[in-house]
């Protein structure tokens, strides 16, 4: 399309007189240097005039077969020539009547349909729409009742359309089946006559898809027969079928009285007509037992009987014979005094005759006279006297010596004894029969113990009630109940808790470290030597409250020995703000210490940044050597209102004697308002 551009040039502007300054510059048709535009069919360019003013220059004609269009010379649109109409949705653009025109793009090649899921088909419309040179096609989701076929890009059809169900799996199924899901299913043809191929069945019929017959009954075995003179061959009543023929189990029966071939039975017992009721005597059991026509009788041993002997008693059957025990004549008449000095004595046993006992007798002379009341010779007055009551049993011989009815006891001079005085030892009997020992004294010079002798020269010193007896720096010291540690106001004598170590005061915990999560809880550790495996670390070998504690030692073998080296280490807590105005402040922890019992292997606690030592194991009972967990405490009151750290320090001082387990610390607490 051609456009006509009209350009009007003004050479000057006339200003009436009296209407302003006549020196204004002339109006200029300004443009951009190098710009072009069309003036009708000609091209106009912007350039400088002699005064360096930018002006549109004279129009120039475009070359042959070109025209000015859009500010530049372009080939003219010749009918039938290829061109570009600027529309991406047209094709085969050509000039017609001086205008570039194309054919609309046809969108008729949609994407192939595809399965969105097992039962949904995404289908595209055959007619699309062109946008910016590309075709887009509307789509829709279609439900597939029989499933989606992703290979064909279509919904599946009925799989039974081409299936004919006329091949039943066996003779006991209906000839025509039912198709479902592409598979044939056949109903049972129950009651149909069939052949189960088993000759041992009859009346075969179909049941549940299987040909079943009634088993043949084998209950007519052959008659028995005598195999030999003493053996009868018989057949079991119930047989079994094989190949259509019945067979019966056979067995041989031993005939103890012979086999009767005429009747095919075992002969009967000859004792059937015998009655065994006449035993040899009453010491056999009736009836007896018959064997081969003869009777035998069992002995009735133990049965009461009568052997017809008046001088036996307890008659019983023994081995088929009635026997009794001979009457024992052991009850003679009582002895009697024949005169004042002679006693008639009857002897036992006597003799039985006709069932009566007779006894022999003898006259005995009585030196001390005959006792007519008791019918005995009077005896020695010492005969009934037992000398077993000496003045004391420790220093006299028992029994004593009787003479004319009086007991005399001999002293055991020099024999060991007990004078019942616990503060004597080596007690001995004197020649006068008295027990006496050498006196000794017990005194441990402690006000809280009771001095006690054990009677053997030894002493015990039991602790008095409501006292503690503590061994500190090898010296034993008494403390009354509720007495505070003179050098540590956070430790107290509490006999109900322990009488041998200090107990800790009670308070309100504000900070606790139990290490039971298996880490140092912010503690920093410094071993020496730096590479030594012996150092402060968290370990679960021992703990006051399971499972972990802070341990100084080697966790591989649980001692603190680094061969040839002295070891030491520090474990420093995180910073702790100690409150002011909350009474006594205490650091409390559980301690297990297994080291040397000397001033070597030192353990102490310091407070940072001051570096003040607040607790030392050497000032605890037994140098703090516990080998069990005990509570200990240290006074922090002097640091109230400060932010501090506390440090556990250990130093073995040397490389000797480091085979103990080392040190375990657990259940660390900082407490306020501490009271006994």
pLDDT tens-digit series, residues 186-206 = 898 888 889 888 899 888 899
**Percent of the chain predicted with pLDDT > 90:** 39
Task: Give the span between the Cα atoms of 173 and 623, in whole angstroms.
Answer: 99
Task: Give the span between the Cα atoms of 574 and 491, in whole angstroms.
Answer: 24
Lowest average pLDDT, out of 122-136, 516-530, 540-554, goes to 122-136
CB 445 within 8 A of CB 455: no
Q: How confident is the model at residue 19 (pLDDT cuts 50, 70, 90)?
A: very low
- 154-155/134-136 β-pairing: unpaired
End-to-end Cα separation, the chain, in angstroms: 113
Sequence-distant (≥ 6) Cβ neighbours of residue 435 within 8 angstroms: 392, 394, 395, 417, 418, 419, 427, 428, 429
Lowest average pLDDT, out of 276-285, 337-346, 379-388, goes to 379-388
Q: How confident is the model at residue 7 (pLDDT cuts 50, 70, 90)?
A: very low
3-state secondary structure of 374: coil
CB 628 within 8 A of CB 590: no
Task: Give the span between the Cα atoms of 505 and 469, in whole angstroms.
Answer: 18
CB 647 within 8 A of CB 605: yes
CB atoms within 10 A of CB 424: 19
- pLDDT at residue 603 tops 50: yes
- pLDDT at residue 125 tops 50: yes
- 467-472/475-480 β-pairing: antiparallel
**Percent of the chain predicted with pLDDT > 70:** 96
- pLDDT at residue 76 tops 80: no
Region 597-608: what's the mean pLDDT?
Answer: 91
Peptide linkage before 529 cis (omega within 30 of 0): yes
Lowest average pLDDT, out of 31-40, 242-251, 475-484, goes to 31-40
* 231 DSSP β-pair partners: 228, 254
Q: Name the residue with higher pLDDT: 585 or 401.
A: 585
* 144 DSSP β-pair partners: none
CB 496 within 8 A of CB 465: no
- pLDDT at residue 175 tops 80: yes
Q: Residues 263-322: pLDDT tens digits?
A: 888 888 788 778 888 898 888 888 888 887 888 989 888 889 988 889 888 889 998 899
- pLDDT at residue 445 tops 90: yes
CA-nearest of 466, 463, 467, 438 to 452 is: 463
CATH topology for 487-675? Jelly Rolls (2.60.120)
Angle at 651 between CA 650 and CA 652, to 5 degrees: 125
CB 294 within 8 A of CB 279: no
pLDDT at position 27, please?
Answer: 42
Task: Give the span between the Cα atoms of 532 and 657, in whole angstroms.
Answer: 17
Region 406-413: what's the mean pLDDT?
Answer: 88
pLDDT at position 29, please?
Answer: 57
Q: Residues 22-43: pLDDT tens digits?
A: 343 444 457 888 789 888 778 8
CA 457 to chain centre: 57
Q: How confident is the model at residue 149 (pLDDT cuts 50, 70, 90)?
A: confident
Region 354-365: what's the mean pLDDT?
Answer: 85
- 488-492/503-504 β-pairing: antiparallel
pLDDT at position 6, please?
Answer: 31
Task: Give the span between the Cα atoms of 31 and 49, in whole angstroms.
Answer: 12
- pLDDT at residue 381 tops 80: no
Q: Name the residue with higher pLDDT: 650 or 85.
A: 650
- Cα→Cα distances 267→226, 237, 275, 612, Å: 11, 21, 20, 121
Domain ranges of the chain: 361-409, 487-675
| The dihedral formed by the CA atoms of 95, 97, 102 and 104, expressed in degrees to the nearest 10 | -170
Task: Give the span between the Cα atoms of 632 and 603, in whole angstroms.
Answer: 13
Q: For all residues of the chain together, what is the average pLDDT? A: 87
CB 358 within 8 A of CB 350: yes
- 351-353/60-61 β-pairing: unpaired
pLDDT at position 15, please?
Answer: 35
pLDDT at position 4, please?
Answer: 30
3-state secondary structure of 290: strand
CB 7 within 8 A of CB 29: yes
CA-nearest of 378, 380, 456 to 423 is: 456
Region 330-346: what's the mean pLDDT?
Answer: 88
Lowest average pLDDT, out of 212-216, 569-573, 611-615, 654-658, goes to 212-216
């Amino acid at each position: 399309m051609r456009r006509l551009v009209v350009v009007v040039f003004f050479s000057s502007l006339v200003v009436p007189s009296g209407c302003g300054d006549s020196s204004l510059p002339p109006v200029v048709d300004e443009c951009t240097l190098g710009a072009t535009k069309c003036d009708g069919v000609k091209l106009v360019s912007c350039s400088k005039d002699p005064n360096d003013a930018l002006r549109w220059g004279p129009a120039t004609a475009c070359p042959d077969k070109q025209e000015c269009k859009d500010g530049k010379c372009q080939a003219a649109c010749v009918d039938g020539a290829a061109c570009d109409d600027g529309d991406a949705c047209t094709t085969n653009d050509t000039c017609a009547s001086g205008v570039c025109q194309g054919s609309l793009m046809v969108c008729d090649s949609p994407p192939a349909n595809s399965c969105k899921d097992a039962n949904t088909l995404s289908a595209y419309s055959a007619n699309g729409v062109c946008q910016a040179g590309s075709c887009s096609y509307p789509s829709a989701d279609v439900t597939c009742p029989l499933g989606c076929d992703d290979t064909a890009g279509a919904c599946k059809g009925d799989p039974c359309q081409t299936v004919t169900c006329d091949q039943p799996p066996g003779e006991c199924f209906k000839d025509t089946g039912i198709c479902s899901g592409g598979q044939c299913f056949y109903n049972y043809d129950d009651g149909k006559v069939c052949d189960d191929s088993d000759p041992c069945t009859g009346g075969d019929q179909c049941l549940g898809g299987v040909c079943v017959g009634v088993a043949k009954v084998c209950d007519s075995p052959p008659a028995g027969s005598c195999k030999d003179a003493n053996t009868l061959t018989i057949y079991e009543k119930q047989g079994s079928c094989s190949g259509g023929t019945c067979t019966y189990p056979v067995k041989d029966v031993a005939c103890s009285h012979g086999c009767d071939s005429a009747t095919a039975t075992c002969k009967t017992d000859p004792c059937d007509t015998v009655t065994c009721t006449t035993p040899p005597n009453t010491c056999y059991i009736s009836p007896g037992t018959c064997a081969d026509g003869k009777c035998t009788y069992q002995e009735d041993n133990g049965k009461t009987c009568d052997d017809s002997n008046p001088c036996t008693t307890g008659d019983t059957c023994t081995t088929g014979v009635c026997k009794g025990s001979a009457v024992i004549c052991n009850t003679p008449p009582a002895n009697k005094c024949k005169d004042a000095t002679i006693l008639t004595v009857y002897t036992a046993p006597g003799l039985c005759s006709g069932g009566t006992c007779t006894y022999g007798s003898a006259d005995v002379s009585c030196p001390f006279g005959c006792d007519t009341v008791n019918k005995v010779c009077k005896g020695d007055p010492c005969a009934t006297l037992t000398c077993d009551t000496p003045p004391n049993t420790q220093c006299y011989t028992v029994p004593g010596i009787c003479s004319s009815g009086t007991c005399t006891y001999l002293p055991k001079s020099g024999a060991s004894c007990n004078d019942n005085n616990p503060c004597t030892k080596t007690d001995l009997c004197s020649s006068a029969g008295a027990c006496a020992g050498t006196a000794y004294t017990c005194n441990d010079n402690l006000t809280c113990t009771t001095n006690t002798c054990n009677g053997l020269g030894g002493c015990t010193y039991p602790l008095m009630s409501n006292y503690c007896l503590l061994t500190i720096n090898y010296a034993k010291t008494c403390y009354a109940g509720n007495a505070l540690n003179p050098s540590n106001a956070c430790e107290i004598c509490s006999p109900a808790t322990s009488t041998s170590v200090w107990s800790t005061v009670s308070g309100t915990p504000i900070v606790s470290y139990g290490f039971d999560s298996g880490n140092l809880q912010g503690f920093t550790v410094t071993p020496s030597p730096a590479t030594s495996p012996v150092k402060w670390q968290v370990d679960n070998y021992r703990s006051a409250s399971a499972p972990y504690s802070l341990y100084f030692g080697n966790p591989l073998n649980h001692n603190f020995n680094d061969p040839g080296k002295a070891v030491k280490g520090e474990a420093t807590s995180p910073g702790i703000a100690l409150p002011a105005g909350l009474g006594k402040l205490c650091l409390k922890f559980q301690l297990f210490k297994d080291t040397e019992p000397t001033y070597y292997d030192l353990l102490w606690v310091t407070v940072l940044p001051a570096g003040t030592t607040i607790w030392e194991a050497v000032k605890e009972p037994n140098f703090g050597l516990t080998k069990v967990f005990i509570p200990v405490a240290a006074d922090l009151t002097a640091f109230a209102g400060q932010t501090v750290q506390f440090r556990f320090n250990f130093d073995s001082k040397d490389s000797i004697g480091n085979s103990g387990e080392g040190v375990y610390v657990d259940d660390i607490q900082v407490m306020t308002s501490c009271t006994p």
